Structure 1
Amino acid sequence: MAPTIATTLSFCAQSKPAGGEISGVPESEMLRKRNEELEDELKKSVEREEKMKEELEKTRRRVKVAEEAEERLCFQLGELEAEAVDEARAYRARVVNLMEQLSAVQKLLLSASK
């Protein structure tokens, strides 16, 4: 936007003939047209800003949903890990118990075969 303003200002700053006209166009007409152009640019800029605000808000909502989902997943993962540890402990206890039974049976067989 700034280069357009600078170009117009430099154009308006050129030497003007008597009567306030440049190239046969009254200065007031040029200023009115430039004012309309600036108003259009401002309107477009405000519209872009509103769209960007809406997009930012949508992104914030998506991020919040993603964060909540991440928290739920982490909670579920923690529960699964705790359950897996409990099952591993129970499995190990069962294996140790079976090994003790097997050892006792082997001792009994050895003592019976002597």
Structure 2
Amino acid sequence: MEDLKTRSEELERELTKSLQREENMKIELQRLHKRVRVAEDAEEQLCAQLGDLEAETVDHAHEYQTHLVALMKQLETAHKFIESASFDP
């Protein structure tokens, strides 16, 4: 009978330890879940910012190309003017 009582006490201690480990794991899982949510939110924000930067970069590239074309036209006009001026006696 004493052996059963001792064994029962051991099992109760093991159960208590197991329940405590389970509770600790739940707490750790909640922490990890919170960290994952924070990381996901940060990822979404970064993706949105990246999209904004990409759109801004495309706009700048179009503006630069338009400016470059305008400068090339000015240069072509200047060359034509110089050529016509150099052929006039």
By the TM > 0.5 criterion, same fold? yes
Q: Counterpart in 2 of 1:68?
A: 41
Q: 1:27-65: CA deviations, max 9, x gaps?
A: x00000000000000000000000000000000000001
Kindly report the root-mean-square deviation, in angstroms, between the aligned alpha carbons of the 2 structures.
0.4
Q: 1:90-111: CA deviations, max 9, x gaps?
A: 0110011000000010011001
Amino acid at match of 1:72: Q
Q: Counterpart in 1 of 2:13?
A: 40
Q: Which stretches of structure 1, 4 residues or more, deviate above 6 A after TM superposition?
A: none
Consecutive unaligned residues of structure 2, counting only runs of 5 or more, are: none
**Which TM-score applies when normalising by structure 2?**
0.96
Query: Which of 51, 65, 85 is the matching residue for 1:92?
Result: 65
Identical amino acids, percent of aligned pairs: 55
Q: Counterpart in 2 of 1:13?
A: none
SS of alignment partner, residue 39 of structure 1: helix
- Greater Rg by CA: 1
Are 1:50 and 2:23 an aligned pair?
yes
Whose helix fraction is larger, Structure 1's or Structure 2's? Answer: 2
Alignment coverage as a number of residue pairs:
87
**Which TM-score applies when normalising by structure 1?**
0.75
Q: Counterpart in 1 of 2:83?
A: 110
